């Protein structure tokens, strides 16, 4: 086996380097690369992607993985066993998808986000539709290529982002949301007539000042700036490549004070997860979050349960007032906390509040399922989007910019990804309860001791990187199976107040 | 030949992609990559450099170049002939330098700039000395590996940066500077007793305001921001990878108004050169400036002859006053122009004025020559630096931060590079004279028509990319051989006024 272990590690070292440069090209593309070079960059990307694919599909590498997988019980290192299992699963692509189709798809999705951004800016779905059609078509083919007696259709895509979760699990979860949450939300958002001080919504909040507060937040959350940084991009995101380099972005809107605040905290939740992965996984294929759902549970917990808590603003609101003395004059702590926790029907997922958030995801889940199952065509997407939004969120978009074009994900080929967002919020509620049994979270927040929360999360979730499945992580952290009741109870409790 | 042409182009396509990602890794490293990831990045860099080297040294690629070179006269495309000649020259490295030594050196110089930056920050030459010793040792070996009956020693390094220029040429040039310029400069800087308004040197100039002016300058110079961008870095530089992506950086010091202004203009000179390369060279090995000297002639001409002219500030000083109304109150145009053109003895090359600049380069030229010839050891460098600075610039540094540690170049392995800076200024004076015969440059500047200067430069210099040698470019642009007298006359004329 030693020969195969050595061979595997040799390839892994090279693949990590290709992963790194592909990561860097994407980071550059999303944050600062000039528009005029998109074609040029795409050409270089294609070559690099081909070289990486050659490595991934090299018969010697494939053989090494197969041999190691066949002899798993001879391997001593438990982490390494997990890695080989994952590598063997990943071989499906190499073995079953024709190389050229796969490379073409990588190139398509690499330039896709650029086309999407332009279409969104121009509010022109037709500009994006041909790209999205190709992406959906490929995913439908992909599902065919990868299907097994045990797993078919949309399940295959869902499992890629959240191992062990398929349509059966998600239907249960989303049906609970449809039954318990949709009517509750419609009721809360109808009755909510509270009028906030107009200064909160009508003032100008200069970007430079918002930036100052975002950097203050990085200190509060002990985000290690020796191993990461905060930048700006059209759509906030986290981009991690190792426990020593995990970068986040946010977006400043001068007419919106809180958008950048909660984007920054949200991305820090993602970022701290990866920065707190045990560094021994940096050179392996196991670095990173174990699943998107667990990833999102961290960002949602940091954003909503910590960042929107009364305890948090009791400590940090004075700083915000110091930065925006005019704009926040005469606005007290109570009103501000109410403001950041208001629930209302909205059109944009990333700007949606905690209560309505999962309903936006429900819309996308149903659309993806229908597209992959062949019950919905790309050209009919805008119309269907509007109708589902109206039904579940109670608000109907009038433009595609505020509708189907709002999210970057599909342009990058991420189908099966959205459902994990809602799952993440539900995990977060369950994890928060478990942590709160170990120590009083509000007390830690009031002591400005976020480090305590980081430490618990590291110990129970972060340090494991990808060595545990989502279900295993949930068991380690909460000693229970997934139970969405925590989430429903948490929301009803909070928004009944 | 067709078979070899095709083979060559196939390799070139891959090599361009590797060049691209290596370029991007460096850009990231110099502008924003977190300190904590330097080791991790260096590891990935090593793998990518190895893969690129494998391509460069692939026997099939080498054979293609050799066959094409042997049959140059059968090639029809003149540009392609130049490319093959250059490729054949570049083969020297692959053929004569042991692979492992070369890769180790690439890795060393990739992390070198990081070590240098830390040493500079801590003013600790000993932190950097071991790295520099390795770099010098490699370059001495390199010279041995590459020597031919026609070319030996330091000449080999000099020729890498400025084709056709060796110690004989530079000695002639620098001796002229020593004889004509050193005494003139010592005299001018002794007699200069003009007292500027203290507000010019004692005010605070907020970075954000300086940034605003730098972006204004990008518009003035018609810097195409669809194909480039302006960022910040410790040491301003230009980083171009194609005619559709050429990025520049500057640095804002809040106690210095003009440093960022002239850094920005300087880097735009470099950037416009590469952006105005004919785009047909983007996919070839011929994109970029033909030599460092010609490159520097463009940055120096834009910075000094355009950017520091009376005509320029007549048009743009009002904008600067608008941005800094308090700091520039009661300071007239005449005083400001005198301020940006003052000559004084200084310690830092990048902050040196036009008159004293080449003397800083003279110091470095003599030190490099002595190190490569084995007459000077790295450990004796700081002392020798101080003594030469005292002799030529008339000012002696008391710290290494302000002395031998000030420049990034050697940390990246660039030995033989500095002399081109002085050459660039001399070329610039000659080129300016030639352009001024075609149209009145001051008039164009006063009409805020920098586009006219860009267009002339494109036609006479920029569009050729690397298809012409420095000496050929000089002939195309000025119809003469290199003549440093223009430079001496220009400086004496300007600073006698």
Structure tokens at B350: 């990048």
Calculate how close chain A gets to B263, using CA atoms only, in Å. 21
Q: How confident is the model at residue A107 (pLDDT cuts 50, 70, 90)?
A: confident
**What are chain B's domains?**
2-96 (no CATH), 167-496 (1.10.1370.30)
Residue of A12, A13, A14, A17 best to disrupt the B interface, most CBs of B under 10 A: A17
Instruction: Return the residue matching tokens 């509007």.
Output: A386
pLDDT at A350 (0 to 100): 83
What is the DSSP code (8-state) at residue A253?
B
Q: How confident is the model at residue A234 (pLDDT cuts 50, 70, 90)?
A: confident
Q: What is the pLDDT of residues A391-424, one digit of tens each?
A: 999 999 999 999 999 999 999 999 999 999 999 9
Q: Does A92 touch chain B (CB under 8 A)?
A: no
Q: Does B103 touch chain A (CB under 8 A)?
A: no
Rounded to an integer, the average pLDDT of B320-347 is 96
pLDDT of A447 above 80: yes
Partner-chain residue, chosen from A35, A208, A227, that has the shortest CB–CB distance to B34: A227
pLDDT at B194 (0 to 100): 85
pLDDT at B126 (0 to 100): 97
pLDDT of B138 above 80: yes
Task: Give burial (CB, 10 Å; 0-12/13-18/19+) of B345.
Answer: buried
Rounded to an integer, the average pLDDT of A434-446 is 98
pLDDT at A106 (0 to 100): 87
Alpha-carbon gap, residue A53 to A103, rounded angstroms: 8
Q: Which residues of A touch B18 (CB under 8 A)?
A: 48
pLDDT at B142 (0 to 100): 97
Alpha-carbon gap, residue A482 to B200, rounded angstroms: 66
Q: Which residues of B touch A228 (CB under 8 A)?
A: 34
B6 carries an active-site annotation: no
Alpha-carbon gap, residue A172 to A291, rounded angstroms: 19
pLDDT of A193 above 80: no
- CA-nearest of B143, B189, B222 to B344 is B189
Alpha-carbon gap, residue A410 to A415, rounded angstroms: 6
CA-based nearest residue in chain B for residue A21: B21
Partner-chain residue, chosen from A40, A228, A242, that has the shortest CB–CB distance to B245: A40
pLDDT of B284 above 80: yes
CA-based nearest residue in chain B for residue A19: B44
Asked if B389 and B347 count as a contact pair (C-beta separation under 8 A), the reply is yes
Q: Coil, strand or helix: which one is A247?
A: strand
pLDDT of B17 above 80: yes
Q: Coil, strand or helix: which one is B249?
A: strand
Asked if A203 and A239 count as a contact pair (C-beta separation under 8 A), the reply is no
Alpha-carbon gap, residue B477 to B470, rounded angstroms: 11
Task: Report the Cα A190 to chain-centroid distance in Å.
Answer: 30
Q: Which helix (H) or strand (E) holds B308?
A: none
CA-based nearest residue in chain B for residue A207: B208
Q: What is the pLDDT of residues A40-61, one digit of tens each?
A: 999 999 999 999 999 999 999 9
Across chain A, mean pLDDT equals 95
Asked if A296 and A425 count as a contact pair (C-beta separation under 8 A), the reply is yes
Rounded to an integer, the average pLDDT of B225-250 is 95
Q: How confident is the model at residue A194 (pLDDT cuts 50, 70, 90)?
A: confident
Instruction: Return the residue matching tokens 């197969």.
Output: A66
A445-468 core/surface letters (b: 16 or more CB in 10 A; e: else): beeeebebbbebbbebbbbbbbbb
CA-based nearest residue in chain B for residue A12: B47
What is the count of residue pairs from A and B with beta carbons less than 8 Å apart?
107
pLDDT at B343 (0 to 100): 92
Rounded to an integer, the average pLDDT of A174-189 is 94
Is the CB of A14 less than 8 angstroms away from the CB of B51?
A: yes
Q: How far is CA B235 from CA B39, B350, B351, B404, in A?
A: 21, 9, 11, 15
Q: What is the pLDDT of residues A304-357, one digit of tens each?
A: 999 999 999 999 999 999 999 999 999 999 999 999 999 999 999 988 999 999
Q: What is the pLDDT of residues A3-21, one digit of tens each?
A: 999 999 999 999 999 999 9
pLDDT at A497 (0 to 100): 78
Strand-pairing partners, residue A245, are A242
Tell me what percent of the residues of chain B surpass a pLDDT of 90: 94
Alpha-carbon gap, residue A385 to A366, rounded angstroms: 10
Rounded to an integer, the average pLDDT of B205-224 is 97
Calculate how close chain A gets to B284, using CA atoms only, in Å. 12
pLDDT of B192 above 80: no
Alpha-carbon gap, residue A23 to A240, rounded angstroms: 8
Give the dihedral sign, CA A276/A278/A282/A288: negative
Give the dihedral sign, CA B457/B459/B460/B462: positive
Alpha-carbon gap, residue A180 to A169, rounded angstroms: 17
Q: Which residues of B touch A28 (CB under 8 A)?
A: 24, 27-28
Alpha-carbon gap, residue B167 to B159, rounded angstroms: 9
Strand-pairing partners, residue A191, are none
The runs of H, that is alpha helices, within B122-198 are 125-146, 154-161, 167-176, 182-191
Q: How confident is the model at residue B75 (pLDDT cuts 50, 70, 90)?
A: very high
Task: Give burial (CB, 10 Å; 0-12/13-18/19+) of A124.
Answer: middle
Q: How far is CA A283 from CA A54, A246, A286, in A?
A: 20, 15, 8
Structure tokens at A319: 């700083």
Q: Which residues of A are catalytic?
A: 267
pLDDT of B74 above 80: yes
């Amino acid at each position: 086996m030693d020969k195969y272990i050595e061979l595997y590690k040799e390839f892994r070292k090279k693949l990590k380097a290709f992963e790194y440069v592909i990561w860097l090209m994407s980071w550059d593309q999303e944050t600062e690369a000039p528009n005029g070079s998109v074609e040029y960059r795409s050409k270089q990307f294609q070559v690099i992607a081909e070289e990486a694919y050659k490595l991934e599909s090299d018969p010697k590498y494939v053989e090494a993985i197969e041999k190691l997988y066949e002899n798993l019980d001879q391997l001593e290192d438990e982490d390494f066993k997990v890695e080989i299992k994952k590598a063997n699963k990943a071989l499906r692509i190499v073995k079953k998808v024709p190389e050229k189709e796969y490379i073409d798809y990588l190139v398509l999705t690499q330039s896709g986000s650029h086309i999407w951004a332009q279409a969104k800016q121009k509010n022109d779905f037709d500009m994006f539709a041909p790209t999205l059609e190709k992406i959906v078509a490929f995913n439908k083919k992909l599902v065919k290529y990868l299907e097994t007696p045990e797993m078919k259709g949309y399940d295959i895509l869902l499992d890629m982002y959240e191992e062990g979760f398929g349509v059966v699990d998600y239907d249960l979860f989303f049906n609970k949301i449809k039954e318990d949450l949709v009517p509750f939300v419609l009721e809360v958002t109808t009755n909510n007539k509270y009028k906030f001080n107009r200064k909160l919504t009508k003032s100008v909040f200069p970007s430079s000042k918002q930036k100052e507060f975002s950097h203050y937040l990085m200190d509060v959350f002990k985000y290690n700036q020796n191993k990461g940084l905060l930048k700006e991009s059209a759509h906030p995101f986290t981009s991690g490549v190792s426990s020593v380099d995990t970068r986040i972005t946010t977006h400043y809107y001068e007419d919106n004070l809180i958008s950048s605040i909660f984007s920054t905290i949200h991305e820090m939740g993602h970022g701290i997860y990866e920065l707190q992965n045990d560094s021994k996984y940096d050179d392996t294929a196991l670095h990173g979050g174990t699943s998107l759902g667990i990833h999102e549970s961290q960002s949602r917990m940091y954003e909503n349960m910590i960042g929107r808590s009364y305890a948090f603003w009791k400590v940090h609101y004075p700083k915000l007032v110091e930065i925006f003395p005019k704009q926040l004059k005469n606005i007290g702590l109570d009103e501000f906390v109410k403001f950041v926790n208001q629930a209302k029907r909205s059109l944009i997922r990333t700007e949606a509040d905690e209560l309505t958030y999962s309903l936006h995801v429900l819309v996308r889940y149903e659309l993806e399922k229908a597209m992959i199952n062949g019950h919905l065509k790309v050209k009919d997407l805008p119309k269907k989007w509007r109708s589902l939004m109206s039904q579940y969120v109670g608000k109907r978009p009038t433009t595609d910019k505020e509708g189907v074009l709002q999210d970057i994900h599909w342009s990058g080929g991420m189908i099966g990804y959205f459902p994990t967002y809602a799952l993440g919020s539900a995990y977060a509620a369950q994890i928060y309860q478990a942590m709160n049994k170990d120590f009083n979270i509000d007390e830690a927040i009031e002591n400005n001791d976020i480090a305590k929360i980081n430490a618990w999360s590291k110990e129970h979730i972060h340090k494991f990187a990808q060595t545990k499945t989502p279900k295993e992580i949930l068991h380690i952290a909460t000693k229970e199976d997934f139970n969405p009741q925590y989430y429903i109870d948490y929301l009803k409790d909070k928004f009944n107040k």
